[in-house]
Chains A and B, each alone.
Chain A
Amino acid sequence: MTKISNRQLVIAFLVSRLSTEMIVTPGEMIKYGADRYWAIIAAKLVILALYLPVIFLTVRFKGDSAITACIRRNRIFGAAVGIVMAVSLTLVAAQTVMSIQHYVTDTLLNTIWSAAGIAVLIAASAYGAYKGLSAVTRSAVFASAVFALLILLIGVTMWDKADFTYIYPYFIEDGSFFVKCTLSEISSNSEILIFAVLCDKVRSKPHRTVLYYLPILLLLLELVNFIYNLILGPYLSNVEYPLYIISSLSDVVIFQRLDGIDAIVWLMCGLIKTALLIYCAADIFSKVSGSDKKNIFIVVYSLVLFGICLVISSNRAYYDYFTNLMNSGIAVFAAGFLLPTAALIFGKGVKRKKEEQNETV
């Protein structure tokens, strides 16, 4: 079985999370000012709490994922957990693919037929998943390097446009906005689902992945938020994709704007995230069915995902409902927290049962 190091998974998670951050649509969720700095910190604390069941699970069952642990205890329960997890992953994957598609049509190629765009994206991601977990996580290293380069370019070229009065630490005037922003941050962390599935693919000490990932992510998001505030200031709430807008304002010697490069970087990050999600779903089906034909699952799942994306994107009402559902963080909470907790409790239950039996004997 292919195993990866926790360092690789951390980089893959960062890329995955950054892909979400690069298309953050501020609207009512993000406002200029100090709120988001605190919201990010609060969200990370909540997310750490959400990760705890998975961490305890991997420690207790010696690196097993929730599904493997459940299947070992009871096959039907394992299958049920796997299906719920796969559904949650599918929702996140669909959201990711459709957001990429919207981003592409909004910024890069407004002439592309929606279904064709979705098909190309899913095909590329499925190819990544087909090449394996190592290929996807290694690719994340290159994507993160290009992202770092982009941020550096933006930082250097936009320095003259930065206004330090924009980061004046305003007090939180409206508590509801802080809560909204925190919730948005929490719901964006779909990596918890990936971790819940892939923790048994980490070579040693999988829980360390979370311990490395969250602090680095916190710093990165604060940095990106700092750049948003510093450059966009009060306009932050009015723009759709802040990093894209900042990139379009950047001016390096060769290119007048960097938005195209931003789009390429984001697309790569998004494809890596989708590939990870597809791989996870295929891995779940492989575990539940006991079959090692993961590549077939990848192909079938990609076709199903394509169908779901087409259906959701075909109707504006469906799409809005779906977006609201995903923004509520239900997938993250259900599959990232509740399922591992259930697995953890079920494992204890089996142990207690055995102990009781031993006592009776």
Chain B
Amino acid sequence: MKKENPNFKEKSVNTINKPKKRLGFSLTENCTELRALMNNSSDIIIKYAKAGGYDIAVITCEGMINRENLANLIFRPLTERPPKNCKSPAEFFDRVASELQIAQEQRQVYDTSELCKQVMSGFAVILCDGVDYGLSMGIQGFEHRSVSEPSTHVNLRASREGFNEVVRINIAMVRRRIKSPTLRTQMLTIGERSNTDVSVCYLTDRADVNTVAAVIDKLRSIPLNTIVSSEYLQSYLEPEEPSLFSQVAVTERPDVFVSKLYEGRIGVIVDGTPFALILPSIFIENFITMDDYSHKPFFSAFLRSLRFLAFMLAAVLPGLYVALCNFHPEMFRSSLLLNIYSSLQTTAYPVFGECIIMYILYEIMREAGLRLPRSVGHAVSIVGGLVIGDISVSAGLMSAPVVLIIAATGLCSFAVPDLYESCMILRIVFILAGGILGLFGIAVAGAVFIFRLCAKNAYGVPYTAPFAPITLKSILRDTLYRVSWRKLSKSDMTVQQLSGNAKSGEYGERTMNDD
């Protein structure tokens, strides 16, 4: 009979949440049990002391607490001015909890698993001999990165603040921007082993109640043991069907996060990562940046249209070039056609093969430049730009137009960074379709892509809204064109108001007129 390797039984290694065992009256036994439960881990510190004539123990996790607070807020009051004239340990402990203002965040802990969780979250837990519960004090003080400029979604005129890895600091940054009682943050603990803090943020008067409930239900049912990044949750918050486009947006910027909450969306902040999730997300949002709201409307419209054009070029241009060269050269202008064909005459491969090879080389160069240290990255750029780009043309391996097309396509794809991955796949699909079936292939691939895009609903909101189904009011308000702030401020619009949105359950189409 085949024996199961116990190391692979992920669920069984969890010793934190189950079994739940109530704390006993003996301090020594409680501490011993805790040690055993934590496998005698060296970072768990148990400091025994005497306060008011009773034996106490202060349990902390190394590096997770603020030592100054531990000394000033816990040890000093307990040892220098403990509650006096107590008849029993229980009375002493009750008075410690009520009379000594040790920490703002203070709660009682009754079982060992909760005790472990609190200690590992940076709380200090006080146990007392003869009392069957502990007092947990919030004196967290672990090292973390300070608030700094986000590395992604860099903007010119928007805020310079970015989220960091601490969920509480991130929530504070959101709160600073929405000083309204309607902002609700709901803290969840997810990951059976990592016990990661996840905060769900929304505006109670804007977000749809059913969507909030659906998101929280999905988060609670995530079966992962460990969560170290928000992307772990992202896939669970999206529909199960695999898709090129994400219906959950990711942002490192609190200003973007807040503006999305105003639009009735739900935000998810995960402890340990500066990338927060926003849902539902729609397609057009990929072309909108915070800077667009700082510029004049006409300039914003120009920039957004440019980004959309860049996305289209990034996805279709190489495929279109291959299709036109191979099947429909008559579409080129005569002079351009002559240039293209003269360069194609000198190369070794057909244009289809050239495009594929060049594109793969480009992606390898990009990947190599991304992972290497910066100093070496420059070398990659030189090798890529000069050797592969220039020499391959002069050696007759590649034609100059193909190098230009792939380079331009690469540049275009960086104009819409959120869609880079989708663009990458689409480009290959269109190159293959154009290379095999010409414009016919491009049209069929395009139709299939549009069918797929249009079928997507993110929590009842059509992914292609407000264009399909059409909501003219939204299209003219803030899509590729943005009206001025004077007009924007006259009316609010949430994702729930977009045409075709089904607020709950049925993903049917509905127009505002129908309502």
Question: Which positions in A face B, CB cutoff 8 Å?
Answer: 1-5, 7-8, 11, 104, 108-109, 112, 117, 120-121, 124, 127-128, 131-132, 134-143, 145, 203-204, 254-257, 259-260, 263-264, 267-268, 271-272, 275
Question: B244-302: which have CB < 8 Å to A?
Answer: none
22 contacts between A and B (CB under 8 A): A1-B508, A2-B508, A5-B514, A7-B513, A109-B327, A109-B437, A112-B440, A124-B451, A127-B451, A134-B454, A136-B454, A137-B468, A137-B509, A141-B469, A141-B470, A142-B468, A255-B333, A263-B439, A267-B447, A268-B443, A271-B444, A272-B447
Count B interface residues, CB 8 Å.
Answer: 40
Q: Determine whether B1 belongs to the interface, using a CB cutoff of 8 Å to chain A.
A: no
Q: Chain A contacts of B514 at CB under 8 A?
A: 5, 203-204
* Binary flags per residue of B215-247, CB closer than 8 Å to A gives 1, else 0: 000000000000000000000000000000000
Inter-subunit contact B447/A4 (CB<8 Å):
no
CA A166 to CA B457, docked complex, whole Å? 49
Inter-subunit contact B509/A134 (CB<8 Å):
yes
CA A136 to CA B447, docked complex, whole Å? 10
CA A120 to CA B440, docked complex, whole Å? 10
Are A132 and B330 also in contact (CB < 8 A) when A2-B509, A142-B467 are?
no
Q: Determine whether B455 belongs to the interface, using a CB cutoff of 8 Å to chain A.
A: yes
Are A264 and B442 also in contact (CB < 8 A) when A4-B469, A7-B470, A255-B333 are?
yes
Q: Chain B contacts of A259 at CB under 8 A?
A: 331
Question: B448-482: which have CB < 8 Å to A?
Answer: 448, 450-452, 454-455, 457, 462, 464, 467-470
Q: Chain A contacts of B330 at CB under 8 A?
A: 256-257
Q: Determine whether B25 belongs to the interface, using a CB cutoff of 8 Å to chain A.
A: no
Q: Determine whether B446 belongs to the interface, using a CB cutoff of 8 Å to chain A.
A: yes
CA A104 to CA B331, docked complex, whole Å? 16
Q: Chain B contacts of A5 at CB under 8 A?
A: 469, 499-500, 509-511, 513-514
CA A154 to CA B508, docked complex, whole Å? 37
Q: Determine whether B97 belongs to the interface, using a CB cutoff of 8 Å to chain A.
A: no
Inter-subunit contact A138/B444 (CB<8 Å):
no
Are A131 and B443 also in contact (CB < 8 A) when A3-B509, A141-B469, A260-B328 are?
no
Q: Determine whether B54 belongs to the interface, using a CB cutoff of 8 Å to chain A.
A: no
* Binary flags per residue of B408-444, CB closer than 8 Å to A gives 1, else 0: 0000000000000000000000000000011110111
CA A156 to CA B276, docked complex, whole Å? 47
Inter-subunit contact B437/A112 (CB<8 Å):
yes
CA A11 to CA B462, docked complex, whole Å? 17
Inter-subunit contact A134/B444 (CB<8 Å):
no
CA A137 to CA B455, docked complex, whole Å? 10
Inter-subunit contact A134/B451 (CB<8 Å):
no
Q: Chain A contacts of B446 at CB under 8 A?
A: 264, 268
Inter-subunit contact A134/B324 (CB<8 Å):
no
Of A108, A134, A139, the contact of B450 (CB 8 Å cutoff): A139
**Beyond A124-B447, A138-B455, 6 additional pairs, beta carbon < 8 A:** A1-B506, A5-B511, A127-B451, A134-B508, A145-B467, A260-B439
Q: Chain B contacts of A141 at CB under 8 A?
A: 464, 467-470
Q: Determine whether B142 belongs to the interface, using a CB cutoff of 8 Å to chain A.
A: no
Q: Chain A contacts of B457 at CB under 8 A?
A: 134
Inter-subunit contact B452/A203 (CB<8 Å):
no
Q: Determine whether B507 belongs to the interface, using a CB cutoff of 8 Å to chain A.
A: yes
Question: Which positions in B face A, CB cutoff 8 Å?
Answer: 324, 327-328, 330-334, 437-440, 442-444, 446-448, 450-452, 454-455, 457, 462, 464, 467-470, 499-500, 506-511, 513-514
Closest to A9 in B: B509
Inter-subunit contact A275/B508 (CB<8 Å):
no
Closest to A271 in B: B447
What is the minimal beta-carbon distance from B515 to any residue of chain A, in angstroms?
A: 10
Inter-subunit contact B447/A128 (CB<8 Å):
yes
Of A3, A136, A142, A256, the contact of B508 (CB 8 Å cutoff): A3
Inter-subunit contact A134/B437 (CB<8 Å):
no
Inter-subunit contact B455/A4 (CB<8 Å):
no
Inter-subunit contact A134/B455 (CB<8 Å):
yes
Are A7 and B469 also in contact (CB < 8 A) when A2-B508, A131-B455, A138-B464 are?
yes
Inter-subunit contact A120/B444 (CB<8 Å):
yes
Closest to B334 in A: A256
Inter-subunit contact A260/B331 (CB<8 Å):
yes
Inter-subunit contact A263/B443 (CB<8 Å):
yes
Q: Chain A contacts of B448 at CB under 8 A?
A: 124, 127-128
Q: Chain A contacts of B324 at CB under 8 A?
A: 260
Inter-subunit contact B447/A138 (CB<8 Å):
no
CA A267 to CA B439, docked complex, whole Å? 10
Closest to A141 in B: B468
Q: Chain B contacts of A257 at CB under 8 A?
A: 330-331
What is the minimal beta-carbon distance from B477 to any residue of chain A, in angstroms?
A: 17
Q: 8 tightest CB-CB pairs across the interface, nearest first?
A: A135-B455, A138-B454, A138-B468, A141-B468, A131-B455, A267-B443, A3-B508, A128-B451
Are A104 and B440 also in contact (CB < 8 A) when A138-B454, A139-B454, A264-B446 are?
yes
Are A255 and B332 also in contact (CB < 8 A) when A7-B470, A134-B462 are?
yes
Q: Chain B contacts of A255 at CB under 8 A?
A: 331-333
CA A286 to CA B239, docked complex, whole Å? 26
CA A264 to CA B444, docked complex, whole Å? 8
CA A8 to CA B451, docked complex, whole Å? 15
Closest to A259 in B: B331
Interface centre among A3, A121, A132 (most CB of B within 10 A): A3
Inter-subunit contact A138/B469 (CB<8 Å):
yes
Closest to B472 in A: A7
Q: Chain A contacts of B444 at CB under 8 A?
A: 120-121, 124, 267, 271
Q: Chain A contacts of B451 at CB under 8 A?
A: 124, 127-128, 131, 135-136, 139, 275
CA A143 to CA B467, docked complex, whole Å? 12
Q: Chain B contacts of A139 at CB under 8 A?
A: 447, 450-451, 454, 468
Q: Chain B contacts of A7 at CB under 8 A?
A: 469-470, 511, 513
Q: Chain A contacts of B447 at CB under 8 A?
A: 124, 128, 139, 267-268, 271-272
CA A271 to CA B443, docked complex, whole Å? 9
Interface centre among B327, B331, B509, B514 (most CB of A within 10 A): B509
Closest to B499 in A: A5
CA A121 to CA B447, docked complex, whole Å? 10
Closest to B457 in A: A134
Closest to A204 in B: B514
Closest to B333 in A: A256
CA A154 to CA B327, docked complex, whole Å? 22
CA A112 to CA B328, docked complex, whole Å? 14
What is the minimal beta-carbon distance from B412 to any residue of chain A, in angstroms?
A: 15
Inter-subunit contact B450/A142 (CB<8 Å):
yes
Inter-subunit contact B499/A138 (CB<8 Å):
no
Q: Chain A contacts of B510 at CB under 8 A?
A: 3, 5, 203
Q: Chain B contacts of A120 at CB under 8 A?
A: 437, 440, 444
Closest to B465 in A: A138
Inter-subunit contact A109/B440 (CB<8 Å):
yes
Of B327, B332, B470, B508, the contact of A108 (CB 8 Å cutoff): B327
What is the minimal beta-carbon distance from B334 to any residue of chain A, in angstroms?
A: 7
Q: Chain B contacts of A127 at CB under 8 A?
A: 448, 451
What is the minimal beta-carbon distance from A147 to any residue of chain B, in angstroms?
A: 13
